[in-house]
Amino acid sequence: MFSWLKKDTVPSSPDELVLDPDNIPAHIAIIMDGNGRWAQKRHLPRVAGHKQGMNTVKTIAIAASDLGVKVLTLYAFSTENWKRPEDEVNYLMKLPVDFFDTFVPDLIKNNVRVNVMGYIDKLPKQTQKAVYDAMDDTKDCTGMVLNFALNYGSRAEITTAVTEIAKEVAAGKLDPDAITDDMIGQHLMTANLGEYADPDLIIRTSGEERISNFLLWQIAYSEFVFMTPHWPEFTPELLQEAVYTYQHRKRRFGGLKNK
C-alpha cells in the first residue's frame, strides 16, 4: 500500500490519509491505462477491460466532484489509438454513446458539466451526436467539468494552434513579436477551461511512466503521480491517495517558495 509515496510521506494507516480541503488540485487529468492488461489477466477480451474502465469513469467522476475538483480531464481516445484493431476502435467509439445514455442524469444530479476536447468532427456520427447531446444536456451545470479528451493528441493540438496563429500573422492581423504564452494557450483545446486550463495533478495508472502525447503544453508545472493498479480497478480511495501525494509535494513553479 502507498508504494508510490515517498517514504517520509507514507501514512502509517489509511486513517491517517486525511486530505487538506484547502489544497484539492483544481484540475486533475488522468491517463486511464491498463484496460487491456486487466482483461487479459482475467482471460477476457480486451474490450471487457474498456467496459469495466467505463464503469470506473462513472465512480471516479462522482468521487472527484465530491472532493471539490473543478476539472477532471480523462484521456479516453488519442489521435494514435486509431492504429488499434478495427473491432477495438469500434468498441471504443461506442463507449461514449453507452456512457452518456446511462449516466447523464447522474451527472446532472451532481451538477457536473460535460466537455469534450479533441477532433470531434472525425468521430463516427453516432459518437458525435452522443458527445454534443451530453454537452448540451449538462450545459447549465455549474459544478465540476468532466472533460473528455476524445480523438485528442497534443502535438496535433499545438500544430493546429500554430497554424491558426501563423494565418493571423500572414493576414497582417498579428505582429509576430506580440505572440505570448497566453495567446498560444487561447488557441489550445483547453482554452474554454479558463483559469483551470493547466492540470495541477496528472495521474497515470497501470505502472507505465510516460505522457503519451497528452497536454504537452499544459503540464509545464503539473505534479505527476504514477500508480500501479490498472484503470478498471482504480477506486475513489486510490484517487484520494494520489491527492494526498500531491498535497505533500512542494510546488515552486520555478521559484523558491512553496506556493
Q: Catalytic residue positions?
A: 33, 81
Does 35 show up as a binding residue in the annotation?
yes
Q: Which is nearer to ligand FPP, 115 or 244 (CB)?
A: 115
For residue 236, the minimal CB distance to ligand FPP (Å) is 16
- Evaluate whether 48 touches 39 at the Cβ level (below 8 Å): yes
For residue 61, the minimal CB distance to ligand FPP (Å) is 9
For residue 39, the minimal CB distance to ligand FPP (Å) is 8
For residue 55, the minimal CB distance to ligand FPP (Å) is 9
3-state secondary structure 35-65: HHHHHHHCCCCHHHHHHHHHHHHHHHHHHHH
Q: In what order do the strands lie in the sheet with 113-117?
A: 113-117, 145-152, 71-78, 27-31, 201-204, 223-226
The H-or-E segment that residue 226 falls in is strand 223-226
Does 113 show up as a binding residue in the annotation?
no
113 φ, ψ (degrees, to nearest 5): -100, 135
Please, how many CA atoms are within 13 Å of residue 4, restricted to the half-sphere of its CB? 23
Does 80 show up as a binding residue in the annotation?
yes
Question: Could you list the residues that contact ligand FPP (CB under 6 A)?
Answer: 32-37, 50, 53-54, 57, 76, 81, 92, 95-96, 99, 148, 231
Q: Which is nearer to ligand FPP, 34 or 153 (CB)?
A: 34
The strand pairing partners of 202, in sequence order, are: 29, 224
Q: Which is nearer to ligand FPP, 46 or 248 (CB)?
A: 46
> Residues marked as binding?
33-38, 46, 50, 78-80, 82, 84, 204, 210-212, 223
> Residues marked as binding for substrate?
34-38, 46, 50, 78-80, 82, 84, 204, 210-212
